[in-house]
Amino acid sequence: MIVFRLPDETVLYTTDHCFSHCSVRFFSFDLKAKASFSGLITPLSPKDFMETKWTTENVYSDTLKETKTEYLNRVLETKNYIQKHQLEKLVLARKKIVSAPQLDIKKTFLNLCKLYPSAFVYLFSYQGDLWIGAFSEILGKYNKKTQIFMTMSLAGTIGLKEVWSEKEILEQESVSKYIHHTLEAFSGNIQKSAPYDHLSGNIKHLCTDFSVHLSLPEIPSLIQKLHPTPAVCGFPKDISLKGLHTLENFDREYYAGYSQIDTPDYLYYFVNLRCAKIYKNSLVLYLGGGITPLSNPEKEWQETERKANGLLGSLVFS
């Protein structure tokens, strides 16, 4: 079962299960897992949504919670790895476990829709697992009529009133270079915007928009080459992925993977970043930050906490 709301819309959608065509898919970060939802995409009224049931029997039992000190040490290890392999950046993730036995899942979803009007907001149950999320990073958006493919370079995270430093500017530039280079293999005519502030709740990112003219059969290949971008992995990609296997001590699952929404007019691909896995007794938030040679471990911790607070501030308890 799935319910979602597209960016800058108010309508809730689900799939009707009446056809074998798979309209909605979620891919894990390593692409080894996939949650598929068949049927046509249809509107779901708020009344009907409130009558749906969202439960899970999964109980979170991992008692080995990472402390702040342990995370700070991992940032230092990551910086050493970056220096050794001469990387521009590497995205290090962590988990934050929150006790939430009385979480009102439906009201929390609706609250996310209200607080993040420009985000892709979703709630899905698949094979006993329950996930919720809201984020506005687009891995790709393809207009089937105009054949225009759009994507964005979104990186760097600071508070709304803070000023961009060299660290965030260079971090976002590495993502932009990667995306531009990837698109060049498909088109020689790339439209690119200047970097601008992209607001997301209590934080902001640097963003650059890209667009190219492509045929529909080219899109799957392009998405495969774009994922994972340096915004969720690092740059260069291959060496960064090898580093994550040793520097991260958990499976990212659907965090930093992506969703695919197939509508009559558009193909949407959203990066799954601000998200959480819901358990019967807890909520597990997945948080990441781009580590560069200029990273300060304490500031990196604060960045992940700000990202966590964006989702935690939307929770509703019964």
Query: Which tens digits make up the pLDDT trace of 111-126?
Result: 999 999 999 999 999 9
**Please, which pLDDT band fits residue 140 given cuts at 50, 70 and 90?**
very high
Residues 6 or more apart from 270 whose CB is under 8 A from it? 120, 135, 137, 138, 139, 258, 259, 261
- Whether residue 50 has pLDDT greater than 80: yes
Task: Note the pLDDT of residue 17.
Answer: 78
Shortest CA distance to 134 belongs to which of 149, 153, 115?
A: 115
Task: Note the pLDDT of residue 25.
Answer: 97
What average pLDDT does the segment 92-115 reach? 95
State whether residue 114 is helix, strand or coil.
Answer: helix
Task: Note the pLDDT of residue 159.
Answer: 87
Using one digit for the tens of pLDDT, what is the confidence trace for 278-307?
A: 999 999 999 999 999 999 999 999 999 999
By the 8 A CB rule, do 94 and 71 touch?
Answer: yes
Task: Note the pLDDT of residue 68.
Answer: 96
Percent pLDDT > 70 in the chain is 100
- Maximum pairwise Cα distance, the chain: 56
What average pLDDT does the segment 57-63 reach? 87
State whether residue 245 is helix, strand or coil.
Answer: helix
- Whether residue 18 has pLDDT greater than 80: no
94 or 155, which is more confident?
A: 94
By the 8 A CB rule, do 183 and 176 touch?
Answer: no
pTM metric for this prediction: 0.93
- Whether residue 311 has pLDDT greater than 80: yes
**Please, which pLDDT band fits residue 136 given cuts at 50, 70 and 90?**
confident
Beta bridge partners of 225: none
CA angle 17, 54, 43 (to 5 degrees): 45
Percent pLDDT > 90 in the chain is 84
Average pLDDT, the chain: 93
By the 8 A CB rule, do 94 and 66 touch?
Answer: yes
**Please, which pLDDT band fits residue 157 given cuts at 50, 70 and 90?**
confident
Task: Note the pLDDT of residue 137.
Answer: 86
Beta bridge partners of 124: 2, 131
Shortest CA distance to 131 belongs to which of 309, 278, 285?
A: 278
By the 8 A CB rule, do 21 and 41 touch?
Answer: no
Using one digit for the tens of pLDDT, what is the confidence trace for 37-47?
A: 999 999 999 99
Residues 6 or more apart from 145 whose CB is under 8 A from it? 265
Strand ranges in 214-274 using DSSP code E only, listed in sequence order: 234-235, 258-262, 266-271
State whether residue 136 is helix, strand or coil.
Answer: coil
Task: Note the pLDDT of residue 22.
Answer: 86
Using one digit for the tens of pLDDT, what is the confidence trace for 198-209?
A: 887 778 889 999
Count of CB atoms situated within 10 Å of the CB of 238: 9
Separation of alpha carbons 137 and 269, rounded Å: 9
- Whether residue 310 has pLDDT greater than 90: no
Using one digit for the tens of pLDDT, what is the confidence trace for 168-182?
A: 898 889 889 999 999
Tokens of 258: 């992506």
Q: How many residues does the chain have?
A: 318
Instruction: Give the N- to C-terminal CA distance of the chain in Å, as an integer.
Output: 22
Beta bridge partners of 286: 95, 275
Task: Note the pLDDT of residue 42.
Answer: 95
Using one digit for the tens of pLDDT, what is the confidence trace for 184-241?
A: 999 989 999 999 998 877 788 899 999 999 999 999 999 999 999 988 999 899 999 9
State whether residue 81 is helix, strand or coil.
Answer: helix
**Please, which pLDDT band fits residue 83 given cuts at 50, 70 and 90?**
very high
Task: Note the pLDDT of residue 90.
Answer: 95
**AA letter at 303:** E
